[in-house]
Amino acid sequence: MEVLVASAIGVLTAAGIYMILRLRTFPVVVGMSLLSYAVNVFLFATGRLVINQPPILREGVTSYTDPIPQALVLTAIVISFGMTAVVVMLALGAFIEAGNDRIDLEQEEDGR
């Protein structure tokens, strides 16, 4: 199970970095989302990967899952959703103003 989760984190991170290095705004937004998913899975995995265990210690329960990583992941999901919305709006505004979605610094000869 740990190997599968570690592989998923690695694949999400690699795909996110690849997408961020593209020269268009949409792949950059998708890459940032993939990186945030990788961080969320990593945070979730830090709470020990156990199955069928309650997140709180109650009467008669001898083992439990750590609830702190679950709370951190929930908070990170909300923050990443808000930041993705902000970045999409900035990218849309830049696309409308510039007429294209390239993010390189060089300007073309004809002024586009």
d(Cα 85, Cα 5) in Å, to the nearest integer?
27
Amino acid at 9: I
pTM listed for this prediction? 0.77
User: Which DSSP category does 109 fall into?
Assistant: T
Contact 15, 34 (CB under 8 A): yes
pLDDT along the chain (112 residues), means of 10: 91 96 90 93 82 78 80 91 92 87 66 54
**Dihedral in degrees, nearest 10, Cα atoms 10, 4, 34, 83:** -110
The pLDDT tens digits for 67-79 are: 888 888 899 999 9
d(Cα 14, Cα 23) in Å, to the nearest integer?
17
